[in-house]
Amino acid sequence: MRAQGLVPFALAGWLLGLVLPAGALGPAQPSGLPTEIPGSLARADLAARILPVATGLAVHDPTIVREGATYYRFSTGLGVSQARSDDLLHWSLLPPAFTNLPAWVAAAVPQAKDVWAPEVVWRAGVYWMYYSVSSFGGNKSAIGLATARTLDPESPEYGWADHGPVLQSKAGDDFNAIDANAVTDREGGLWLVYGSFWGGIKMRKLDPVSGKLDTRDQAARHLAQRPIPPDAIEGAYILPHGDRYYLFVSFDFCCKGRFSTYKIAVGRAAAIAGPYVDQAGLPMLQGGGTILRSGDASAAGMGHNSILQDEGRSLIVYHAYDLKYGGQARLRIEELLWDDQGWPLMASELLSRSGATKR
């Protein structure tokens, strides 16, 4: 669009210091990932990176935010699906963020029935939620903005105030205004990353006070594209890490259950506006992207990820169509590994490629 028990956090913290030694990956594969687990990593070490999420809630396009000691998960659904957890493993559903679609949606995108791919960030003393409304398969779409003082629905201060549309697209445009990601660059500038199929992934400058588009800088930066039809790329997320920016995207098709072909890919750049290239040096504007996670014997359609920075950990949050549950989309969370060249790796993919899947 998008085993029981708690992993000991002492072990998880130890694993954070793990960096693959030079040469551990061997010759670069076409996807940029090894076909065998590097000798420096034990299967148990990799498995401990994957959080055993226990609650079987259907989830598309998830993102997670922590407020105090509580984690809040937001995802596609009627009025924005919400859930909370104390440990990232056991989740309980909350009422949706919106009782009804915001009033402006009926005129802007009359086909919209629910809210897609919410992005929640903390900025200037409030939570900002960017959300998408659209109709499946078309680009008459819009990204809206709402704010809240707290995520706790039991607080007297709770409640999402809608601020209307931020960006809209229509038939004939070369972009699709969905799948918002709000990212702050190293100079403090705020950006909106968006796009699905059509012209690929683009980015606009945001006003740091209103959260709407910057009226002085109206240029759309083009970050990534699959130039061969059907241009299947969406779900972008930019992570600043080290001295680079990492652009995560989803290739191919979601929302087909066990037949979904979603996969997570990544490229990186020295500047937030790019140019982004994959591990083989292929520009993402030319279809490049190192595959981080693809389907395996346990699930199909891994994709639409976000990143949760939590106590020094970078946790990648995504959905997968779990074959054990008839292809239902389920929440998955794991810590990112980084090789000595500064490229991210996912333990679940390494295990899958070695024939030792976690699930």
Closest of 24, 6, 35 to residue 343, by C-alpha: 24
Would you give the DSSP letter of residue 115?
A: B
Concerning whether 61 is annotated as a catalytic residue, the answer is yes
Between the alpha carbon of residue 69 and those of residues 4, 48, 87, 152, the distances in Å are: 21, 22, 9, 11
Q: Which residue has the tokens 């140019």?
A: 275
DSSP H stretches of helix in 172-304: none
DSSP H stretches of helix in the chain: 9-16, 43-47, 105-108, 347-353
Closest of 70, 81, 65 to residue 1, by C-alpha: 81
Q: Which of 234, 252, 278, 334 is catalytic?
A: 234
Euclidean distance between the first and the last CA atom of the chain, given in angstroms as a whole number: 25
Q: From CA 148, how far away is CA 160, in angstroms rounded? A: 5
Question: Among all residues, which ones are annotated catalytic?
Answer: 61, 234
